[in-house]
Structure 1
Amino acid sequence: MNPYLAILIDSFWEAVGNRVLWALLLGWSLVLIGLAPFGYVTERSYRLTSSDIDNRGQLMSRLAKGTRGQGRLAVVAVAKLLDEAFVDRLRQADDNNESQSRHPITSSELAEQLNQVLSSKELYSPEAFPTAKARDRLLPLIESAERRNLDANEAEELNRELLQQAFPLELSSPRGEHLWVGYAGFKIGDPLPVSRRQIRQFIEPVLLAGIIKFGLGILAVFVAIVVTSPMIPDTFSSGALHLLLSKPISRVWLYLAKFFGGCIFVLVNITFVLIGLYFIAGLRFDIWNLGLLVCIPILMFVFVIFYSVSALVGLIWGNAIVCVVACMLFWLFCFSLGVMHDAIGPQVEVMPQISRIRTIEGHLMTVDQRGRLGVWNEQFSIWQPAINDEQQRQARTFGPIYNAERRLILTKSFFRDPFGGLHAKNRRLAIIHLANDEASDASDEELSPHNTKIASDAPMSIKQARETPVWLADAGPDLPPELFDVVSLGETVIAVCRSGLFRLD
């Protein structure tokens, strides 16, 4: 084994002494130096931006009523501090009853007006905000407000909390700081609409996955393939072997030794880049993600797969250009397989794992890992959709919740975006009226406007059963934003949200 070990060591030193390696390391160093000044720029601030307004239409409606002295005292107190010209626009928009998408007042204008309220020292009063003193954190600020010695920063903090109490569903929770992406201390663009916690929880995994997959996973690997492609052809070219070897050895072992020598070349580059990214992300963005370091062996594995194709083609044809072309064709083949898998996969029935199961009035109902609500179809022995599924991707489903007194099933599905928000075409709870099943089975009359069962005794195919929902759902009350869960307490349905508990009527 000594000759082959000598070849492997020689390959390592050949890589270390290779000018191309040092040129690549220099190039990666320049990239890392260019990325290093990026970082967060933070300012302590309770001011609102357009992204802090969760429900513009409802906020405008409540403010318009507050300008007329209607609604809660807290809303009226806020409305009194708005500009007169803005009050006229609010009333005009409310009187015209325009749809939310056609409101003449933008979220930015609303945020600007509410920011003027933040600077006021006259907003707080015990009558308008009777529960404010229940929060220990606000007591010192309230005492200062009552003594009329609030400074500007304290007034802004107190008023932001009071605004949140007045509009718990219309405004996002106060973060206490504004966050920008900056370069060398200079702010870039507008403040980020998310907090550090949301970045770590939702954006960081998506961002790092994109960098690894599309940046290093494609670009870096192909750069490595281009650089290492001449190694095998040069080793086995005519007249090269007798200069390298002093005695005959196995060509197979020679091939493997040079192959692993090329892997060492790439390992040095990948390790250097990922360690650099790890420290830049940690020192500049406070993202100490060990997943970056775990990607070193993963990217090496990806490189070995492509390099094995390059090395084999180089051994057969002895041409570095052919090696690179063969790797590109192999990558296109793998990419095409991935696209076909994504296109055909949803059409192939792969039963996801069931996460919840219960029986409601003889109906066996489940919620699977994809968030789909299903009902067992005994005729075809399949899970049939319970209601029309508007979500075509991974969803989170609340329910099914059963109301025995009214014979209702309550449910709602949302899909989760990378920022952690739950979204749907609307936020209305879906209500299934089981009482209408009996009416639909008892007569063949046309379906009523209320929820009725779609399925009938008429035969249908398995394909139709998989695509046809069992029930049509009525639209119920709107669910509040920042929803954690929907639970039932007896006959009462409670929505658990970041801003509190809400009883659904």
Structure 2
Amino acid sequence: MRPYLAIISDSFHSALASRVLWAAFLAIWVLLASLAPIGIKEDYTTSFRWFDVYNGTRMKALLAQGIVDPKSQDKAIGRIAKAMPEEMQRQLRRVGEGDEVRIRLTLLTHALNDLIESDANRGNQSVADTADADSDEATQSDWYDSEAWKDTVRLRELRELDETPDDELSDSLLRRRSRLRLEAALPGVFESRSSRSVLLTYAGLEFPTDFQIDRVQFETLFNQFVIPILVNWLLGLVLVFLGVLVTASIVPDMLQTGSLHLLLSKPISRSALLVAKFIGGCAFVLLCVTQLVFGLYLIAAFRLGVWNTRILWCIPVAVVIFAVFYSVSVLAGLKWRSAIISIAAAGALAAVCVVVGVIGGVVDARVVAPDRIVGMTTAGDDLFAVTGGSGLVQMDTSEEVWSPLIEGEAGSNDRVLQPTTLDADHVMTARIRNGRFNPFGSGSLDLIVLSRGDDWSPQPSLRLPTATERLVSIDRDAVVAINTADLLITSRDSILDAIGEEASEDATGEESGSDDGTADSTAKSVPRIDNSVGAWLKALVTMQGGATESFVSILPRDVVMSPPTRVSRIRGERALILLTGDRMQRIEPVGNDMMSTWETSTRANLQRESDRASHVIASSSRWVVVARGDLPLKIYDAVTLQFAGQWDRDAKRSFVSGTPLELIAISENCFLLRTSSGHCDVIEVVRGDEQLSTLVSTTSQELSDATADDDVQNAGADSNLSDQAMTIRTLERLPVDEIESVHWRPDVSVSSGGRLYVAHDVDRLTVFSMSVTPRDEQSISVGANFSDIEISKLRSVSPVGSVWRWVDRYVVGGLELFTPQVLQLGDTTAAMVSGNDSLVIGAGESGAAEVIRYQILWPLVSCGIFIAVILLISCMYFSRSDY
């Protein structure tokens, strides 16, 4: 063993003698020294950025209404619009008069930030100065009036700040209060933001940029984007290149006559000698990488507050990247005995890896992604799906192909709504032009109906409310359109009349049908009643996402939809669970007429959480389950919305990985949970233990206090519910990986059974039959299942792909198989550092978010096999060559 260690040490000393190495050391020390002053500063979120605006069109319409509507000029929105700069007021007046005026978001947010500054400065004035200011005409510095803001829905944080005297608030809190006042006056306009944000600083000075996010977002950005970029480029490109440059001469120098004969005179084999030299070169890079990564870890910990020891996993990954290129350099050095050729060979391999990686990325984005199934529904035995290329396809079961109904294309800016079943013969959707990144899109938005009698040909129907994001069938006579600021309803008969069809009295829906078969026998025409704010001016109402001629607003007046919004329908009941911001409420129609007034029957405040992932919600007749990011799954009573229990974070992660993307209720207690990891699990709400009962009792009291503080009480709350604390157990995992979308079709003849359609591996389809048998709850012990479930596979379809899909599978796949996946090691690093196996980008309803699943093991296996094969070839060549 000692001779081999001597050779490794000799290689290491040879590398240390290189001037390039010491230049690299100096560059690393200078880089770390330049990064050391970077820090973060946490403060209240006080100003607006253009990316805070979720609905710019609605904001422009609301401000225009405040300018031109006499009834709004004394309200909050009117006072804000009047305080705008004169040029902005002139443009908003043109908007209110019906002109097409483009106002950049940056100009609007800058104007709002000026109002924040003026209001905060007013709060710093003395009482005497304030009294003098009140005697003047309304100017930009006195746009706020407490009476005008009484009609707005204010968060508890704003009410607490309004009740606090100005002299007790810091400058940051004064600005925070002003921002919250603007948000209250402009409901449904801004993205939900954390109350505190972090700002980057350098040597105590704030960065002069618009970089402002909360701590959780900062840590996610650092772990899943910054660190992989450092590994791919700083470690994977710069240090690897320098490492190859320094170590390329080790093998050629060894092959010199005097050196080689001296080494071979020792009791070692040629293969072991070569491997020892290879390890010596890697040891040199290990020293450089360790200095850089450990220095970055210390900076992240002490300066940024990111104490993440998983950052140190970058060290072995960077050494593996170097070993891939160095193995080729060693083989070239054996063959041609030239350091220059060794460097050129390693550079050629790097070029090949980059080219193959780029080709794979382009083909995946242009060929594979547009075919990916992101949402499904059924009508009878026919299956319809939305693709990643913003197309709508139908499964032709006879030929096992997806037949296009609405053509999609790669990189399309359009957005197709997830199809919704109207009845067994009709399916609804909509295509929003240029709506992928803009909820309003461009042009008019028509409901598209596909009818069995017309061979499923898309037909335009009613005019949809602007910025519609989802369609939900309620009972079998009504359809709700959910947009960025409202819930609007129309009748099934109105939809069919618009395409020239008469409603069939015996038509039954699969998802929209009522479980008890009850429905109003007489068809109702939708009255042209508009409950939206500002209904006096149709153009502005349309811009705000308000009602159209055939849709009626059912959103209770005391409810403000703060994006993102989640709506869950309770199957078999005329009720919706609405989750907006951190408030959940159950809304129901007053009486039997769903087209008239809806009101809130009960509501509950959710605890404010640091995780900024989107909520996922599902409701049965008994439970409401809410999932969010890496947080515990929360369970609420479906009637009272009282907190009933949770699935602990650690217990959840031991069974389910990834970010929750979709929840579907399949029975009273059982739900389907699909995550970003590509798996789907059947979970069940069960009784917890005594410790959990204590937790539920405490949390219920906290939530009740928060709810009472919002002047709303939970109707009919069960005081003994904490004695029946609930949690969640996993029943079974579907035997399918890489799941893209799922659709549950309940069997109307069976109370808890149906078919589950699973789209996986881009566009493959597997159909399962599922039945849930409830047990006698009186005899069930703590933690035991309430139900027995049976899952059987009915069929699996592998659609015939296009020629380009064949090229992707066999040509590009073959290139990636025989090429070391060096670029994909960034995914491995991101997974190791973040502790997650996937990344979810964006929010929205199911299917709207983009999911990136990290390739964790395959890049390491690919690089390991490549290194082993090249070293084996090098050892065989070295052993059989005469030097």
| Common fold: TM-score over 0.5 | yes
Matched, 1:97 2:99: yes
Residue 50 to residue 8, structure 1, CA distance change in 2 (3 Å): closer
Q: How many residues align?
A: 468
Which ranges of structure 1 fall in alignment gaps of 5 or more residues? 417-421, 452-475
Report what 1:165 is aligned to.
184
Aligned partners of 1:41 and 1:182 also within 8 Å: yes
Aligned partner of 1:254 in structure 2 is: 273
Which structure 2 residues correspond to residues 483-494 of structure 1 after superposition, within 5 A? 483=564, 485-489=566-570
Using the TM superposition, give the Cα deviation of residue 264 of structure 1 relative to its aligned residue in structure 2, in angstroms: 1.0
How many Å apart are 1:189 and its aligned residue? 2.2
* 2:581 pairs with 1:498: yes
Aligned to 2:298: 279
Match of 2:146 among 107, 125, 135: 125
Pairwise CA distance, 1:36: 1.5
**Alignment-mate amino acid for residue 71 of structure 2:** Q
Cα distance in 1 for partners of 2:398, 2:14 equals: 70
Amino acid at match of 2:253: D
Distance change >3 Å, CA 482–CA 223, structure 1 → 2: farther
What is the alpha-carbon distance in structure 2 between the residues aligned to residue 29 and residue 211 of structure 1?
16
Aligned to 1:470: none
Q: Which residue of 2 aligns with 1:318?
A: 337
Which of 369-378 and 316-325 deviates more?
Answer: 369-378
Quote the offset at 1:322 in angstroms: 0.9
Quote the residue 2:598 is aligned against: none
Which residue in 1 is equivalent to 2:162? 142
Q: CA separation in 2, counterparts of 1:30 and 1:214?
A: 18
Q: Is the counterpart of residue 8 in structure 1 residue 8 in structure 2? A: yes
In structure 1, C-alpha distance between the alignment counterparts of 2:578 and 2:431, rounded to whole Å: 12
Question: Could you give the per-residue CA deviations for residues 38-80 of structure 1, whole angstroms, max 9, x where no partner exists?
Answer: 2334544523344434444432331232244334933234345
Q: Secondary structure at the match of 1:364?
A: strand
Aligned equivalent of 1:469: none
Counterpart CA distance in 2 for 1:124 and 1:299 is 60
**Cα deviations by residue, 1:273-295 (Å, 9 ceiling, x for unpaired):** 11112222233233344453212
Give, in whole Å, the separation in 2 of the partners of 1:204 and 1:5: 37
Task: Give the C-alpha shift of residue 265 in structure 1.
Answer: 1.1
Aligned to 1:48: 48
Going from structure 1 to structure 2, the CA distance change for 1:132 and 1:247 (only over 3 Å counts) comes to closer
- Read off the aligned partner of 1:221 and give its amino acid letter: V
Aligned counterparts of 2:38 and 2:51: Cα–Cα separation in 1: 23
1:359-398 map, 5 Å? 359-366=378-385, 374-385=393-404, 387-389=406-408, 392=411
**In structure 1, how many angstroms separate the alpha carbons of the residues matched to 2:323 and 2:371?**
33
Deviation at 1:226, TM superposition (A): 0.5
Matches within 5 A, 1:53-202: 53-67=53-67, 68-71=69-72, 73-79=75-81, 81-82=83-84, 87-95=89-97, 97-100=99-102, 106-113=108-115, 115-117=117-119, 119-120=121-122, 123-125=144-146, 128-130=149-151, 135-144=155-164, 153=171, 154-173=173-192, 175-177=194-196, 179-202=198-221
Higher strand share: 2
Between 1:214-223 and 1:354-363, the stretch displaced more is: 354-363
Contact 1:313 1:322 in 2 (8 A): yes
Question: For residue 437 of structure 2, what is the aligned residue in structure 1?
Answer: 423
One of 315, 330, 355 as aligned partner of 2:349: 330
Secondary structure of 2:303 counterpart: helix
CA distance in 1, matches of 2:30, 2:482: 56
CA–CA separation in structure 2 for the residues paired with 1:104 and 1:249 = 71
Q: 1:343 to 1:258 in 2, by over 3 A?
A: same
Deviation, structure 1 residue 318 = 1.2
Cα drift, residue 325 of structure 1: 0.8
Secondary structure of the corresponding residue to residue 358 of structure 2: helix
Q: Distance in 2 between matches of 1:409 and 1:195?
A: 39
Partners of 2:404 and 2:584 in 1: CA distance: 30
Amino acid at match of 2:111: E
CA distance in 2, matches of 1:234, 1:448: 76
Distance 1:28 1:151, change over 3 A: closer
Partner-residue secondary structure (3-state), 1:323: helix
Structure 2 counterpart of 1:191, one-letter code: D
Which deviates more, 221-230 or 337-346?
337-346
Q: 1:8·1:260 contact (CA, 8 Å) conserved in 2?
A: yes
Task: Tell me which amino acid in the other structure corresponds to 1:432.
Answer: I
Q: For CA contacts below 8 A with separation 6 or more, give which structure has more relative contact order.
A: 1
| CA displacement at 1:128 relative to structure 2 | 3.2
The root-mean-square deviation of aligned C-alpha atoms, in Å, is 4.5
Q: Distance in 2 between matches of 1:344 and 1:48?
A: 39
Q: Distance in 2 between matches of 1:329 and 1:128?
A: 67
Q: Deviation of residue 95 (structure 1)? A: 2.9
Between Structure 1 and Structure 2, the one with more helix by share is 1
Aligned match of 1:299: 318
How far apart are the structure 1 equivalents of 2:235 and 2:577? 47
TM-score (norm: length of structure 1): 0.75
Deviation at 1:187? 2.5
Q: How far does the alpha carbon of each residue in 1:278-323 deviate from its partner, in whole angstroms, 9 at most, with x for none?
A: 2222332333444532122222112111111111111121111111
Is the 1:57–1:100 contact (alpha carbons within 8 Å) kept by the matching residues of 2? no
Q: 1:32 to 1:250 in 2, by over 3 A?
A: same
The counterpart of 2:255, out of the listed 227, 236, 249, is 236
